Amino acid sequence: MEKIIDDYIYAVVKNLPKDMRLDIEEELYVTIEDMLLGDYSEANIEKTLLELGRPDVLALEYKEKPDYLISPLYYNEYLLYLKFSMIVAGVFSAALACLLYLLNVSNEVIYLKILKTIGISFGSIILGFIIAFTLVTLAFAITDKVDKKNKNRWKIKDLPQRPSSEKMLISRKKSLWHIGFTMIIGIIGVTLVLFYTDKIGYAVTEGTTQVIYPVINRSIALIYIPVFFVSLALNITLTYFEIKDGVLSIKIAILDTVYKMFATVALLAFILQPQIINPEFIKQFALHSDTTINSVELAIRITLITFSVIIAILVSLSVAFKWYKVAKYK
């Protein structure tokens, strides 16, 4: 039975500094003997050791300096930035890999192209996660070690202000989901514009062949792709500060306004561009629908204007409501 006790004590001290082991061994022997109360039966020894707990957990109580790659001081902040970075890196990696694949892909059967694109997307997302995890963890680990001397140094002005209302709090989870959803939808839109505008349209059989008249005028749509990436950069900046601060402020309200106004103006300019709908699509649709070109153009125009007005109203209300909260609770 003494061997079990000896093994337990060895398991506790084996990873502790050598100069501490002897003293801790003696202390543990005394503690265990006191807990046994003279009963050295196998059942009582097992009960006593189980009460003391796991050896590796007990060993932590004797360490003067806990072993942390990232200390509790930075851990919550580390998790926030890790989630943010993994979402951004994962979506960007998948989008970049798919674009490079589609640019160089040969004439394959469509379902094979789709399957390969899905496979490349998942592989790239995992790669993006790994890169983000490595870089963020390394950055925080270095910061934690370098900043040891300054951990107890702080100024009163560094204290965050308690929000006057819970309504000023920003849900970090919603911010993360929003940036992820926005990036995915945006990348899908860019991919469709770059590679599939000629496949989305009105199909007409001419003789023995089928001709597709695209809905979107690709040459005009391409102009707006750089605008999308500017909008995405603004969204990432906004999300970064929302996650970092966690509280609605004038700074975040300004960033939110700039992002939403820029994205909305860009979207409406895209939708209301006179030649964004391919004239040949309108002509063929009217020809095969027993209606006039003017009627089709008018219907499309009314639909796009109605959609634009709804978007403009919703965005304006969203911006106004955010500024209302800032003015009321700040």
Q: Is the pLDDT of residue 5 over 80?
A: yes
Among 109, 139, 159, give the residue marking a domain's end.
159
121 with 233, same domain?
no
324 with 181, same domain?
yes
Each residue's pLDDT tens digit, 209-253: 777 778 888 777 787 788 888 888 898 888 888 877 778 888 889
Q: Is the pLDDT of residue 159 over 60?
A: no
Q: Is the pLDDT of residue 105 over 60?
A: no
Across the range 142-153, mean pLDDT stands at 65
Query: Per the structure, how many domains does the chain have?
Result: 3
Distance, CA of 289 to CA of 66 (rounded, Å)? 76
Let me know if residue 170 belongs to a domain: yes
Each residue's pLDDT tens digit, 15-61: 777 888 888 888 888 888 888 888 788 888 888 888 888 888 788 77
242 with 328, same domain?
yes
98 with 204, same domain?
no
Let me know if residue 65 belongs to a domain: no
Distance, CA of 39 to CA of 43 (rounded, Å)? 9
Containing structural domain, residue 278:
161-330
6 with 87, same domain?
no
Radius of gyration of the chain (CA): 31
At 155, is the pLDDT very low, low, confident or very high (cuts 50, 70, 90)? low
What is the per-residue burial (b if ≥16 Cβ within 10 Å, else e) of 294-306?
eebeeebeeebee
Torsion angles phi and psi, residue 59, rounded to 5 = -65, -30
Let me know if residue 262 belongs to a domain: yes
Among 159, 187, 206, give the residue marking a domain's end.
159
- End-to-end Cα distance, the chain: 68
241 with 313, same domain?
yes
Each residue's pLDDT tens digit, 251-299: 889 999 999 999 899 888 888 887 788 888 778 777 777 788 888 888 8
Write out the DSSP string of 243-256: HHH-B--HHHHHHH
Q: Is the pLDDT of residue 313 over 90?
A: yes
134 with 282, same domain?
no
103 with 139, same domain?
yes
51 with 96, same domain?
no
Task: Read off the pTM.
Answer: 0.63
125 with 173, same domain?
no
Q: Is the pLDDT of residue 151 over 60?
A: no
Among 15, 38, 60, give the residue marking a domain's end.
60
Each residue's pLDDT tens digit, 49-81: 888 888 887 887 777 666 677 777 777 778 877
For residue 278, give every residue at least 6 positions away whose Cβ sits within 8 Å of its Cβ, in sequence order, or none: 201, 213, 214, 215, 216, 217
Residue in the block written with tokens 């265990």: 32
Strands (E), the chain: 201-206, 209-214
Element (H, E) at 23: helix 18-36
55 with 143, same domain?
no
- Per the DSSP assignment, residues forming a β-bridge with 209 are 206
- Per the DSSP assignment, residues forming a β-bridge with 210 are 205
Please report, for residues 34, 45, 48, 111, 241, the alpha-carbon distance to residue 38 in angstroms, rounded to integers and kept in the order given. 8, 10, 12, 76, 62
At 104, is the pLDDT very low, low, confident or very high (cuts 50, 70, 90)? low
Whose CA is closest to 92, among 34, 62, 131? Answer: 131
Let me know if residue 117 belongs to a domain: yes
Q: What's the whole-number average pLDDT of the chain?
A: 79
Q: Is the pLDDT of residue 152 over 70?
A: no
Give the per-residue pLDDT at 270.
83
111 with 207, same domain?
no
Let me know if residue 278 belongs to a domain: yes
